[in-house]
Amino acid sequence: MKRSVTTKADLRGAATLVWFRLDLRLADNPALAAAVARGGPVVPAFVWAPEEEGDWPPGAASRWWLHQSLAALAGRLREVGARLIVRRGPTSATLHALAAETGAGAVFWNRRYEPAVIARDQVVKAALRADGLEAASFNAALLHEPWTVANQAGKPFQVFTPFWRACLAATEPPALLDAPTHLPAPGRWPASLDVNELNLEPKPDWAGGLRAAWSPGEAGAARQLTRLVTEVFSGYAANRNRPDLPGSSRLSPHLHFGEIGPRQVWHALKRAFPVNLWRPSQFLAEIGWREFAHHLLYHFPHTSTEPLRSEFARFPWREQSEWLRAWQRGQTGYPLVDAGLRELWTTGWMHNRVRMVAASFLVKHLLMSWREGARWFWDTLVDADLANNTLGWQWTAGCGADAAPFFRVFNPVAQGEKFDPQGDYVRHWLPKLARLPAEWIHQPWKAPAEVRQRSGVELGRRYPAPIVNHTIARNVALAAYVRCRRGE
């Protein structure tokens, strides 16, 4: 039912709902800042409506992180005199109900860019405005929104290097917005669910490894940013591919949940380093890849389930459930791949170099569809992000934008020897191989029998033999690719 006709003057000073989504922070939060600037009470709200996320509702690891992040956000809001109102969807009806309960005249939020969410948000915005409410959205997640960057023909980019060059040449991101020190409260707070009532945490509890590895929330994100600036950045280019070294920023889940934004990263690097170091840096380029992923998903929304390169729609992917399970469980017989999958299962995260090797193994050694890998990562990664997940898997499979050519097949043994030279990463995640000498740890099946016996490695029992032969699997994959290109 519509309200009676109101004017902007009638709504001036009325409460503003701030609809939190993947922007779970107070600092540099444009929607929150706009609500404060508007005047009147501010009512922060979170609406749980996973069924509105289309084919990609949050996976199990993401749900665990979301629970912790919402609890942390609620704590931050209490510090500034506010509360986080938690409701279940449907979203449009819930926001209308909250507006009625609080006498709100406006609903503000920060934009998301997943196809199903964009469609939902358009409906929500139209319904709010039709009901006489002010409805506005803002950019909190990207340096440059997808429709603001185009090539010389006015088309979206499909190659990273010119895309990122265009981004760097564009107007610098605006100055950061301070976190509010106080939020005006409504006369009476509306009812709220407890975060626990959303049932986001797993039962039975398998998240002990995630809790040990991560500190979700705005404060945890700030600590990781400080670590990036003081410990990681100077050696990032040299160490980022080494899973045996602490050379990654580990900011990805914090960025996904909006506990920190890319503008904050940009300005932190700008403050800490000379321009000739931070602007062309490898780390800033990784922020660029995140931007590129959202650019692609926005302009090519079908790519979350279909290949960008249409010829791959006829690729002869296998359906081999036994091999898929072996890959998921880290039982392929290739130590670097298996260590990565076990790191993922334990911590909800996998080192980026190992992600590439593990993904290449699935789609090229096993000829399993990139969609199978994307679904597994979606459920198990704490940084599962639809844009980045889609870009990464299609890049690996050779079917996306700026993709690695299909004939580039990572050799997991050579990759292990190059990027985990002493086998420390493998030893950590595969303790049954820990006593193998470095020269054999990435290919235990080639170790002399006496070395395996002395190291306590019994292939096929304590550790699996390789499920495929690298050379044969590579040749089969290349032959399948040739047939695909020919249209056979």
Residue 213 located in a structural domain? no
Query: Is 393 tagged catalytic?
Result: yes
Query: Is 411 tagged catalytic?
Result: no
Range of the domain at 71: 8-140
Same domain, 343 and 295: no
Active-site residue, from 189, 206, 317, 445: 317
Same domain, 353 and 457: yes
Query: Is 286 tagged catalytic?
Result: yes
Same domain, 319 and 435: yes
Same domain, 343 and 459: yes
Residue 185 located in a structural domain? no
Per-residue pLDDT of the chain (488 residues; tens, 9 = 90+): 344 444 444 555 799 999 999 999 999 999 999 999 999 999 999 999 999 999 999 999 999 999 999 999 999 999 999 999 999 999 999 999 999 999 999 999 999 999 999 999 999 999 999 999 999 999 999 999 999 999 999 999 999 999 999 999 999 999 999 999 999 999 999 999 999 999 999 999 999 999 999 999 999 999 999 999 999 999 999 999 999 999 999 999 999 999 999 999 999 999 999 999 999 999 999 999 999 999 999 999 999 999 999 989 999 999 999 999 999 999 999 999 999 999 999 999 999 999 999 999 999 999 999 999 999 999 999 999 999 999 999 999 999 998 778 888 999 999 999 999 999 999 999 999 999 999 999 999 999 999 999 999 999 999 999 999 999 999 999 999 998 888 77
End-of-domain residue from the set 269, 299, 329: 299
Active-site residue, from 393, 395, 429, 440: 393
Active-site residue, from 189, 206, 289, 445: 289
Residue 67 located in a structural domain? yes
Non-local CB neighbours of 341 within 8 Å, separated by 6+ positions: 327, 328, 329, 330, 350, 358
End-of-domain residue from the set 299, 322, 354: 299
Q: What type of residue sits at position 283?
A: F
Same domain, 111 and 160: no
Same domain, 36 and 65: yes
End-of-domain residue from the set 280, 299, 318: 299
Active-site residue, from 218, 286, 291, 372: 286
Same domain, 287 and 232: yes
* Strand arrangement, sheet containing 16-20: 85-88, 42-48, 16-20, 106-110, 134-138
How far is it, in rounded angstroms, from Cα 104 to Cα 106?
6
Residue 293 located in a structural domain? yes
CATH code for the domain of 281: 1.25.40.80
How far is it, in rounded angstroms, from Cα 377 to Cα 121?
26
CATH code for the domain of 319: 1.10.579.10
Same domain, 429 and 280: no
Query: Is 370 tagged catalytic?
Result: yes
Same domain, 159 and 129: no
Active-site residue, from 101, 145, 352, 445: 352
Residue 238 located in a structural domain? yes
Same domain, 437 and 321: yes
Residue 1 located in a structural domain? no
Active-site residue, from 370, 378, 395, 429: 370
| Count of domains forming the chain | 3
Residue 187 located in a structural domain? no
Same domain, 165 and 230: yes
43 beta partners: 17
Query: Is 289 tagged catalytic?
Result: yes
Same domain, 398 and 250: no
Residue 462 located in a structural domain? yes
